[in-house]
Structure 1
């Protein structure tokens, strides 16, 4: 059988035809490759996508294409590092060069090394997906002729619809030497020759530069596991997406303006410690720190790798950019393109406040809060100065030229932005109290903003929140999900808002940004507000949030690169910016946090997990378990549906609240605390089909309902 395969490969190569991919072996104990897989209690490590060290290798040959050159020998020799090689023989120019396309099996990042000998000029091209791996000359607006095998990482050359005119994406390699440039995100590596000559390739590897200060990237401090194989994959893909985006702070991008300048990652993030990590928005493309992306990435980091230093460095670098009037730039001011956007994104000012609050909640780091408290108060003063321009008491960024948005530009008085601001005010009230100050002014203002949103932007007839006063006939996902998530909506409005989205925005792949029947906005699928919606649903006890997670993020995992999540998705299922899209984008990782905080149910209820809650939303799952790293030590939790109730076990180093769905008797450590519809012990309450026990002492406890 092996001889027949070898002869078939040789015949295809000799004829100049593609060699079919050689897939990685599918094993029964690998959920990523097995045709079916059943999760088992405690067996979470097979789901981890991160490598055990900082060297990765391709796992298969996707194909070889001889074109006008030749490929001699078995292409799989490039995978084996056993001294046998495959030879690439060049053509007159790169447009006719043979292509050797290797598959790393998942998204990776780093510096490629090709071991071999030869006289040809060897180039490497990179792509996150097969869809935009420019193999044919016309692919990617002409990139296939100039940089075969690449997708596009340069906004100034080959942006979708713009001709690709010069090679700004391939890297010329020196044999047996690591590539000079970091490629922040790719799954496929294409080797080709720039003209005549030949190269014998006998090994290919990449220095895995993601998460460089994590000695073992696969050694997660937190984990999640459930009876649902797909949900487990989504949790670990989100964790891995954020790891791919984590890199040293001196490997940012300063957007190239010079003709012919190559894709690169060698610029320092302003105000960041260059010897520490930061968390970029995406590995491949923008490769800078953004406030809005960090809002999703930071909680994922706290709950998975617990790489708090990377969060600190990222958030501090953004805070240090604050302008004298209190405005907080959205992104690292790493290059002229970013500097041109200095005041563009008013929405992202609200995310800075949220990020600082989340840092306090997860770490309890008082020194960090005190250091940046003056920046926080100046930020809030700037936001309030914008709101003060509106006699009706809502924020709009048109007058200050900061209408930029995560997905569109709107200068109106939006539900979305004002809901975020109302939450900021509530967060600041809590932070002020933590510092021994009065938070009353912030709390009063939060109530006023919530009332203004409900008075001006709630549409009673539609049962949903309007986009803005200026666009009253659109009821977008972000408006309604954030109104629920931030507490702007009461229980009745929350239920109606989420029902509206389910009826009008849900489609084949997930929940659209706006219903297709509305003409004011163009719909697409956005992971950022989709995460808000899934979180809001589960937070209100609506377990269709799990359906949304499995539908939208599960669909992404079924596409290339199959291991990380995308920036945006068009209604037809293609990436928002085609070959320029980021397919490992941190703000798409929200389900990792949601599955831990809502499904496993573990959340901090005081700074640094000084107190906590474990209240799982179980849906139709049979069981879930996990570990949450905290400054006080790990919290371990597990629950299972026993068939006649639920059993929750928790070990923690702090006082907490435990809760379970219950209709009958409930026991804590064997003692009855709820029976016949009423509490039989102090600190026990019931509401909404749940029984809660407050003041549970540190240690190991079992809460069981029957």
Structure 2
């Protein structure tokens, strides 16, 4: 093997140094130390893990029960599931002997389901009545929930005996869930092509896999959207999510909204690519993007705020920020898939969309936010920092895409516009005293989203500025996580996913890991959490009263506990902490430049992970030994990249991939 040092010095590892290190040539996720962290079931018909609790007179025989009238049993599937439920029921005399209720959180277990429509009294959905035809009485009747009663996300199923007509008990057996997510995957565990592992911090591994599983539960069947206007009481999930009738589509949440949201794709799409690769993780994003293209405004070139099964779509709501997020998602799909034929097919649409954004740039050099719909933040409008950060990131990415498309003139134009925007952004919004950007030119509020995105998309002018922002953002932290200044009493895991990325970009890995342990740890292990998926958001005190004053009607049961926009760690722990990422379309060029933690508290000393593209598997490891770090990388044939460390005295090694492991040792600063 040939290594060429551009800076610093290099030592090749000897075999002795790597004894005991995982070095398998073939990846088998079912027989690795991280396999036990995969939350996905191993079949499409998982059974409950246990009976969680009973109420009234209930005879229990394993997982089968006999319910007396007005008694109740709650099944725990041990993980978030979704779809239909099926079981055998033997009711001697009543054709409506039972009611079913569903919940993601143990907080809402009871005779009524948690809510898919916001209501201050948690009573929108209520329960589902089990109906048995007269011919089925007195037999082991196989009951399946009706098609429209598809339940997108739940962990707990409660069955209540409702019959007042007889004192004869009702028997229930063979309870299963017919999975309704990630269609086409016979064994959901085998869909995982990416992986993440460290023996030093189980919480980080659990967080990575909980994020991956959250995305998996959000890969939906196209005909399982929320029917509008919503059924009340009850629910109906039989509406179209987009423009495809088969396959899968990536949505924002398992229980609700179950819709395409462009902003969410900024986090959920790369998580899907990293966790599930081209075979199982690309199609769902592609179908979401095709939906956005289909509903692109022919006159203005703007993309919709949300997918068709939302009230936002039905009311014609527009969003400048989500328009730019749509373009970032389009570029990112092209980047990972390398599908330039798809890009060429939509190039006129893409061009019109970019020019629509440019048309909103004022004489001051920043885009004016006239369509203020966003992730629910307050204080929008004007020369908003979050909008302009997203639009800058979009312009730089689309400039590169234009170059790949072969349009150098357009690439140059978009690059110039981006640099003009960056100059104005710093001149008009930077508050040097606070070490943060202001939300716009008319306020002294320093937002979490605008500052995090400014660091991630490199609107800063120096590494020192990035570090100042990283430090200043911690002023919003409480014991659970960042309380965002732009929405009262709110911890947003979407915006915090961008803050996590910003800490890594600022080369502050210890701070980033503290954020993961604090916020995502609470999301997994805090009271009333689901334990296997990541919550949509929280109130400042950690309760599920997320967005109570901003559209959610003071209804904690409405909050989603499996929301794909909250999964930032799933791609950032790979691309930022492990440091393995592709840097050109489809991955022919890559880099492994990890952020090595240096703090003493729970410091990670060894890490391994990987992901798959159409070219094959990309895998990497690093291990800290004293003042040195051993790095190892394995990439497909025909690829090339750089291995090195962050820092002012960066040591970089150029590597050509040939399908085998390459090893180096570098000195920590």
Give the TM-score, by structure 1 length.
0.81
Question: Match of 1:55, SS?
Answer: coil
Q: Deviations over 1:603-623 (max 9, x none)?
A: 111100011111111213121
Question: Match of 1:176, SS?
Answer: strand
**Per-residue deviation, 1:403:** 3.6
In the alignment, which of 79, 84, 88 is matched to residue 67 of structure 2? 88
Tell whether 2:77 aligns with 1:104: yes
In the alignment, which of 440, 443, 447 is matched to residue 419 of structure 2? 447
Q: Distance in 1 between matches of 2:489 and 2:286?
A: 35
In the alignment, which of 428, 439, 463 is matched to residue 456 of structure 1? 428
Question: Match of 1:177, SS?
Answer: strand
Q: Deviations over 1:172-211 (max 9, x none)?
A: 3554122112211001111013332441112311111111
Cross-structure match for 1:332: 307
Tell whether 2:339 aligns with 1:353: no
**Per-residue deviation, 1:344:** 3.1
Q: Distance in 1 between matches of 2:207 and 2:650?
A: 27
Which structure would you say has the larger RCO, counting Cα contacts within 8 Å and 6 or more residues apart?
Answer: 2
Q: Distance in 1 between matches of 2:658 and 2:189?
A: 29
Distance 1:580 1:171, change over 3 A: farther
Q: Distance in 2 between matches of 1:510 and 1:498?
A: 14
Distance 1:126 1:65, change over 3 A: same
Equivalences for residues 211-226 of structure 1 within 5 A: 211-219=182-190, 220-226=192-198
Tell whether 2:393 aligns with 1:423: yes
Q: Distance in 1 between matches of 2:224 and 2:102?
A: 18
Tell whether 2:646 aligns with 1:658: no
Tell whether 2:515 aligns with 1:548: yes
Q: Distance in 1 between matches of 2:532 and 2:242?
A: 30
Unaligned runs of 5+ in 1: 1-38, 80-84, 91-96, 136-147, 515-519, 662-685
Cross-structure match for 1:669: none
In the alignment, which of 582, 603, 615 is matched to residue 581 of structure 2? 603
Cross-structure match for 1:265: 237
Q: Distance in 2 between matches of 1:434 and 1:57?
A: 49
Distance 1:697 1:635, change over 3 A: closer
Count the aligned residue pairs. Answer: 595
Q: Distance in 2 between matches of 1:341 and 1:533?
A: 32
> Aligned Cα RMSD in Å?
2.1
Cross-structure match for 1:193: 161
Cross-structure match for 1:474: 445
Question: Match of 1:637, SS?
Answer: strand
In the alignment, which of 165, 172, 181 is matched to residue 130 of structure 2? 172
**Per-residue deviation, 1:348:** 0.6
Q: Distance in 2 between matches of 1:608 and 1:182?
A: 37
Equivalences for residues 124-523 of structure 1 within 5 A: 124-133=100-109, 135=110, 148-155=111-118, 159=119, 161-162=120-121, 164=123, 169-170=127-128, 172=130, 174=132, 175-180=141-146, 181-196=149-164, 197=166, 198-219=169-190, 220-227=192-199, 228-257=201-230, 259-260=232-233, 262-271=234-243, 273-306=244-277, 307=280, 308-324=282-298, 325-334=300-309, 337-387=311-361, 390-398=362-370, 401-408=371-378, 410-438=380-408, 439-470=411-442, 472-490=443-461, 491-502=463-474, 504-514=475-485, 522-523=488-489
Q: Deviations over 1:152-173 (max 9, x none)?
A: 1123xxx1x2573x75553535
Does the Cα contact within 8 Å between 1:124 and 1:173 map onto a contact in 2?
Answer: no
Q: Distance in 1 between matches of 2:265 and 2:253?
A: 11
**Per-residue deviation, 1:689:** 4.1
In the alignment, which of 616, 623, 645 is matched to residue 633 of structure 1? 616
Cross-structure match for 1:642: 625
Unaligned runs of 5+ in 2: 1-28, 133-140, 547-554, 598-602
Cross-structure match for 1:54: 44
**Per-residue deviation, 1:464:** 0.7
**Per-residue deviation, 1:393:** 2.3
In the alignment, which of 646, 651, 667 is matched to residue 691 of structure 1? 651
Q: Distance in 2 between matches of 1:173 and 1:597?
A: 51
Cross-structure match for 1:703: 664
